[in-house]
Amino acid sequence: MALEAIVGSDGHIWWATFGYPGSLNDLNILDRSPLITDILENRFKCEPYSINGETFDEYYLLTDGIYPRWSNFVRSFKQPDTLRKKHFAKAQEAKRKEVERVFGMLQGRFNILSIPGRSWKTSTMKAIVKACVILHNMIIDDQRDETSLDQHSKFISFVTAAANVQDLSGHSSQHLEFRPVAPRPPVLSLCRNLKAAQDVDAHKRLMQSLIAHHWNRKGENEDEP
């Protein structure tokens, strides 16, 4: 069974779901991910933001090369052929590995997650993982200093307002999942949203904006070879 999660740079788990029994890869999980469902149902929206002069109004997710070129998927490059792409690939892969680091932290803190499951009931395994994630978040929150705690509170307010979810500030099961309150859209709307998500041109526009943004942050002004 697989654990799907969104984590912050400090190790805090902002969203998680556990399940997907059987032999799976990233694409199998993508087909049944409640996070992707929320995105397609417009339940996971954010305020418009600008990257290198381009305006976007959807969250983007860092993925590896197996994922399709959707408008909100940011993939790395297997063989980057320019300095800009090499710099971007390094930054993207470093951020993407933060999820793996958090999974390692969970297994290091809770031995029950690093050994084969002892229960035959899916509900029991889900309860164990949920309890471990909540305790992990409590430890992360307790270790924050005043500066990072202030940023943490601001981010909670931003996520709650932008994604239209319930308050996540308490140490409760709400840490595990966003709870959208918007009604489920009709099937035709879902089909339109899926078609928009699969827009390759939008994917290229996001990638080009992010590559240029990271290169400008690097402070390089010399031409590429």
- pLDDT for 34-93, tens place per residue? 888 877 887 777 788 888 888 888 888 888 778 888 888 898 888 888 899 999 999 898
Residue 177 or residue 161, greater confidence: 177
pLDDT of 204 reads 92
Phi/psi for 49 (5° steps) reads -140, 160
Residue 171 or residue 31, greater confidence: 31
111 vs 100: CA distance, rounded Å: 17
Q: Are strands 13-19 and 73-75 parallel, antiparallel or unpaired?
A: unpaired
Q: Which of 162, 179, 166 is nearest to 49 (CA)?
A: 162
Average pLDDT rounded to a whole number, residues 108-122? 85
pLDDT of 205 reads 92
- Whether residue 146 is predicted with pLDDT greater than 70 in this model: the reply is no
Residue 182 or residue 93, greater confidence: 93
3-state secondary structure of 87: helix
Please report, rounded to a whole number, the percentage of residues in the chain having pLDDT higher than 70: 76
- Whether residue 105 is predicted with pLDDT greater than 80 in this model: the reply is yes
Cβ atoms of residues 168 and 14 within 8 Å: yes
Tokens of residue 174, six digits: 């709400």
Cα distance between the two ends of the chain: 47
For residue 151, the tally of other CB atoms under 10 A from its CB is 13
**For residue 50, which amino acid is it?**
S
- Whether residue 117 is predicted with pLDDT greater than 80 in this model: the reply is no
Packing angle between helix 83-109 and helix 122-143, nearest 10 degrees? 110
Domain ranges of the chain: 2-218
Helix, strand and coil content of the chain, in percent to the nearest 5, comes to: 50, 15, 35
Cβ atoms of residues 210 and 51 within 8 Å: yes
Tokens of residue 128, six digits: 């164990």
**Helices marked H in 33-186:** 34-40, 83-109, 122-143, 146-163
pLDDT of 88 reads 92
- Whether residue 119 is predicted with pLDDT greater than 60 in this model: the reply is yes
Average pLDDT rounded to a whole number, residues 158-184? 40
For residue 221, the tally of other CB atoms under 10 A from its CB is 7
Query: Worst-scoring range by mean pLDDT, 42-46, 94-98, 157-161?
Result: 157-161
102 vs 54: CA distance, rounded Å: 32
Highest-pLDDT range among 13-22, 178-187, 204-213: 204-213
pLDDT of 144 reads 77
Q: Are strands 73-75 and 61-63 parallel, antiparallel or unpaired?
A: parallel
